[in-house]
Amino acid sequence: MKTAERVLATSDIHGQNTKFLKLLEKAEYNPARDLLVVCGDIVDRGTENLDCIATCKELVSQGAVVTKGNHELFLEEVLTAMITDEDWRNKPVVNVWSRRNGGTKTIEEIMDLPKSRLLEILMFIKDLRPYFTVGDYIFSHAGADTSKPIEQNTENDLLWMNDNFPYCSAYPGKVMIFGHTPTWQLYNVKPTRKNAKIWYDNVNKDKLCVDCGGVFGGKLAAIELPAYREFYV
């Protein structure tokens, strides 16, 4: 991994490629100088899902890191079905993804692609790591089961948030950066969308959430480390 002057972290882009690019521009992201970490959920709910995948692939080729989110897990399962099973539309995961988890637009974007293109996307998604560490920071989509070492966490631990996670201390000497849950839903935050901000665990001092609910009427956010400068679009 390259040595970076600063780390930029964001999360939960959710098919908002235009907004994502504006965020990177606002933060003056430079792949030659900075390390970008995207904490999952690059697809679904928004309308530019293939564009988001293409952008993230290009960013990864330049040195960025994208961790897997639960929406990438849905995409991985559905892509596998689309490639291997002609009856993929009747798979339970397709119903769960499209009706309950905002996958309808993503399915519309990928359903007529040739299998070679589907396989290309699948390989990219399968290669996403469940968590990433650099310096004093641990990045994952939805936190972790902090009762065990980070490397012993399962994919389920890292992609779906345990209800106790925001209230528990994390790992000594480390700060966990995550997304998955819009910050106005976390404790000690007054419900707000329009004015959503990055959430800091002011009790344990070892966690922060960068999902400000951009696809739900909030904002797409990024944080610069170690300076803790915040960027919003």
| SS3 per-residue string spanning the chain | CCCCCEEEEECCCCCCHHHHHHHHHHCCCCCCCEEEEECCCCCCCCCCHHHHHHHHHHHHHCCCEEECCHHHHHHHHHHHHHHHCCCHHHCHHHHHHHHHCCCHHHHHHHCCCCHHHHHHHHHHHHCCECEEEECCEEEECCCCCCCCCHHHCCHHHHHCCCCCHHHCCCCCCCEEEECCCCHHHCCCCCCCCCCCCCEECCCCCCEEECCCEHHHCCECEEEEECCCEEEEC
Contact 71, 103 (CB under 8 A): yes
| 225/148 Cα distance (integer angstroms) | 26
Residue range 6-69+128-232 in CATH 3.60.21.10: yes
| pLDDT by position in tens, the chain (length 233) | 556 789 999 999 999 999 999 999 999 999 999 999 999 999 999 999 999 999 999 999 999 999 999 999 999 999 999 999 989 988 899 888 887 788 999 999 999 999 999 999 999 999 999 999 999 999 999 999 999 999 999 999 999 998 889 989 999 999 999 999 999 888 667 667 888 999 999 999 999 999 999 999 999 999 999 999 999 99
pTM of the model: 0.94
How many whole angstroms separate alpha carbon 126 and alpha carbon 73? 9
Domain limits of the chain? 6-69+128-232
Q: What pLDDT is recorded for position 188?
A: 67
- In angstroms, rounded to a whole number, what is the distance separating the alpha carbons of residues 50 and 159? 21
